Structure 1
Amino acid sequence: MAEFCKLPEEMAMQILSRLPPQSLMRFKGVHKSWYTMINSPKFIAKHLSNSMHNHSSICVLFKLSVLKNNNTRDNDEKETVFSLLTFCNDDDDHTEHIIHHVGDDITKNHVVGIKAKDLESVWIIGHCDGIICLGGLADSSNVILWNPALGEFKLLNLEPYPDQVMTSFGFGYDPKSKDYKVVNIGKPGEEEYGDGHILNNPPTVQVYTLGTNSWREIKTGSLETETTNMWPEEFDMYFKGFRYWGGREQIKEFDNFCDRNEEEYVRQLIISFDTVDEVFHHILFPDSLYESFACWYFNMNVIVWNESVALFGMDYGICEDYSRVLWVMEDFGGVVKGSWIKQFTFGTAAGLEKPLQFWNRDEILLVSNGHLVSCNIDTGKLKHLPIPNYMDFDHLEAAVYVNSIVGILEARN
């Protein structure tokens, strides 16, 4: 080991940066030079890059409902748990998956300081560089950042606005300041005037920066037009300096309650947040999705596919076949609007009604008739994934992330 420690730093970095985080944490104590190297920003960035390009294993965080008593199915009492699983390919063709590791669920071990009774209201906000963001604790005013590989978590206490009726969160990385940010978008209540006139107040936004460990309010003019407000909803993701949500336009003013109930929402779209400039942008769906009310395009998920922003969801033009459609944005740089290309439509058997996450370019994680499966979109082949415990897949959430050694307990320079 002493001879190994004498390896040139670049060679040692090449070797060590390919090891899992748990091993690296132990190796910090081998030699002072290793401790310094493993904690360096250069090494952390290299290890993260290697983890992102390692397709032999896939890390997944599941929020699921399981039977309290695993020994029998006669007892139907359930509890919510979060479990960490790593799936590894057991052959060179990557055609089969096996469970390499089943992490301790955070219900029993309070890994992120969440009490079991609060787990049902917690949801996965997003993830970036191996850090997972959780929200919805108790009164929805708390957010947690968590690195499962390091076992580190940080509770971010947020003072909500008193008139806030809805909240949407996002999490991402600012490549300019090299820091992580949480975005809290609050929807204030409406104002009613004596003549029945109603005014929808614009969203309010606060940004948390990990390096400074502080929240601050930012301007939200980019979430408004002359006649509408834009409101982020679900399916958020981070990609290359931008945070994305599925969202909708909401009319600002109404003459009365009847007008509001009939015409409040204009159309759905994608809302993005530039983590560097801290400005919001909006991207319209493909034109064909607005052509017919019967399209029901609100089931589209915003995803990353083949290093591009994409929309994935049901193709309701041929819904009897349970077909799925993928639209990909070409020539898109986050702000400059590109063009939507219909990449493919593929059919699945009835029952594949809950897509969760793309593993990679060709495989998507789905729920099929009470089982978790991986579907190859090119061949249509299904692979059942071995998940322990009997669970309720109707309430399953999942996030595919990478193992990293990006710390969250110390502010970075």
Structure 2
Amino acid sequence: MTEFCKIPEAMGLQILSRLPPKSLMRFKCVHKSWHTLMKDPNFVAKHLSNSMHDNFCRTTGVLFKRENFKDTGTAERQSESLLSLINFCNANGDGEHDIHCLVEDVTKGQFSGFEVLESAWIIGHCHGIICLRNATKIILWNPAIREVKVTSPYVPDENLSDLGIGYDPKSDTYKVVHISYGTQEEYGDGHILIDRPKTEVYTLGTDSWRQIMTGCLETETTHFWFQDFHMYFNGFCYWNGREQLKEYQNFYDLQEEHHIRPVIISFDMGDEVFHNMLLPDFVYETYMWSYVLRLMAWNESVAIFGLDHGITSHESWGLWVMDDFGGVTGSWIKQFSFVSAVGFLDTPLQIWKSDEILIVSKERRVVSYNLDTEQYKYLPIHSMDSDYFEAVVYMNSIVSVNGSKT
């Protein structure tokens, strides 16, 4: 590499580790040593660290899936699923609010395995790897390096239920967590008892599944049930969920779904143990559990961004941060509340700068909203003819889905 580049090797590595994945993929063809370098676990880890912590080279992307209706010339319109990638570059690192982005529609022939992507639902992401699923398959996809992997056949008989993806720092590998609903037993008197959820873990390095214990997902009288995967952060996966009774007198009681309270469920990727945490107090005090709340990472802390009812007669939003946090316990502290200058905020996606949040508007468009200036910008993605949409914010990386650890 030194002879080819005619610069010191350490300097060459430093320069390459700060380049975006798209450039690195092109440079693989420049020289055999560079092709080998892109697969070196140490280089991949260095590039990932730079992407996560260095504003100079950080790039952020959004995978957006929505339904579009095509005009067929008849009374009936035909629906099609569209996948789009939005890539941002935060190259200035100087606090400017200008947004530079490129929109790329994912089409057939562009990605190997596109057909399985087209029919899949978006679950979440970790270090640039996006997890998707359909009725029977789990797919791992790194769009930055155009790699798609369908995991090994899922062994248990249960249908796919709730999923999460994360990184295990102890074993230096990526894992997918699957939680399936427990069995339901009905006795002669109509009495119903529901077993605790079952959990399996997929390990990317071995391309295999194994079942783990889930005793932490129950108390003497209740279970903890999963609803939506929100994020991976600092060794933990996070879902929103609920605590629910495990025993019912009859079928009608079960249909009433006696939720005791909403909770946050976390999973330690290294120790493979579940924990549960309470939401901010106002959620329980108002008995309105259908708030729009989204778990996010903010200033290296776990945070909740969402609707904050009660402070004004207008729609207001707030941010709560977990204090004294180690992945398991802590208390929520409100950082701020604000009334939106425009009444379009609907579904928060992710804070992608310290003061910039990506939100899906009520018009079903992606908006970047600045929390300090209250300025906003519509991102150039259209064809939102339906209320159906899925989106995930991810970081561009060169982490492989084809079995390498890092």
Query: Normalized against structure 1, the TM-score is what?
Result: 0.88
The aligned residue for residue 126 of structure 1 is 124
Q: CA deviation at 1:23?
A: 2.5
Post-superposition offset of 1:262: 4.0
CA contact (8 A) 2:122 2:392 kept: yes
Distance 1:209-1:327 versus aligned 2 partners, 3 A rule: same
Amino acid at match of 1:289: V
1:95 counterpart = 2:89: no
SS of alignment partner, residue 392 of structure 1: coil
Please identify, of 403-412 and 122-131, the stretch whose mean Cα deviation from structure 2 is larger: 403-412
Aligned to 2:23: 23
- Cα 1:57–1:392 shift into 2, 3 Å: farther
Moved more, 300-309 or 56-65: 56-65
SS in 1 for 2:30: coil
Which residue of 133, 137, 143 maps to 1:142?
Answer: 137
**SS of equivalent to 1:24:** helix
> Structure 1 counterpart of 2:147, which letter?
E
Asked whether the 8 Å contact 1:235–1:302 carries over to 2, the reply is no
| Rounded Cα–Cα distance in structure 1 between residues aligned with 2:48 and 2:91 | 23
Distance 1:394 1:318 in 2: 29
User: What is the CA–CA distance in structure 1 between the aligned matches of 2:339 and 2:14, rounded to whole Å?
Assistant: 44
| Corresponding position of 1:266 | 260
In the alignment, the residues of structure 2 paired with residue 359 and residue 284 of structure 1 have an alpha-carbon distance, to the nearest angstrom, of: 25
Within a 5 Å distance, the mapping from 1:187-206 to structure 2 comes to 187-206=181-200
Q: 1:48 to 1:90 in 2, by over 3 A?
A: closer
How much does 1:297 deviate?
A: 4.9
Change (3 A) 1:397 1:132: same
Partner of 1:97, secondary structure, is: coil
Q: 1:4, CA displacement in angstroms? A: 5.0
Distance 1:54 1:345 in 2: 29
Q: For residues 160-196 of structure 1, give each alpha carbon's deviation from its aligned partner in whole angstroms, at most 9, with x where no partner exists.
A: 644x477100000000111000011000341110011
Superposition map of 1:222-241 within 5 A? 222-241=216-235
State, as a whole percentage, how many aligned pairs show the same letter.
53
The match for 1:407 is 400
Deviations 1:277-336 (A, max 9, x none): 11101111122321232x33553222212211112221122474111121110110113x
CA distance in 1, matches of 2:265, 2:403: 31
The CA RMSD over aligned residues, in Å, is: 2.7
| Partner of residue 356, structure 1 | 349
Distance 1:343 1:112, change over 3 A: farther
Match of 1:52 in 2: 52
Question: Relative to 1, partners in 2 of residues 1:88 and 1:76: Cα closer, same or farther, differing over 3 Å?
Answer: farther
SS at match of 1:380: coil
Q: Quote the Cα distance in structure 2 between the aligned partners of 1:319 and 1:77.
A: 43
Find the aligned partners of 1:378 and 1:51 in 2 and give their Cα distance.
25
Contact 2:224 2:242 in 1 (8 A): yes
Residue 312 of structure 1: aligned partner: 305
> As a proportion of its length, which structure holds more helix?
1
| Aligned match of 1:211 | 205
Pairs within 5 Å for 1:287-366: 287-293=281-287, 295-318=288-311, 320-335=313-328, 337-348=329-340, 349-366=342-359
TM-score under structure 2 normalisation? 0.90
Residues in 1 aligned to 2:337 and 2:396: alpha-carbon distance in whole angstroms:
32
Give the Å deviation of 1:343. 1.2
Aligned to 2:36: 36
5+ residue gaps, structure 1: none
Match of 1:155 in 2: 150
- Write the distance in 1 (CA, Å) between the matches of 2:28 and 2:310: 57
Q: Give 5+ residue unaligned stretches, structure 2.
A: none
Q: Partner amino acid for 2:337?
A: T
Cα distance per residue 1:334-369 (max 9 Å; x no partner):
13x111101111112323223222222211112335
Separation (CA, whole Å) in 2 of partners of 1:250 and 1:298: 19
- Partners of 2:284 and 2:334 lie apart in 1 by 15
Relative distance call for 1:5 and 1:75 in structure 2 (3 A) is farther
Q: C-alpha distance in 2, partners of 1:154/1:208?
A: 13
Give the match's secondary structure for 2:310: helix
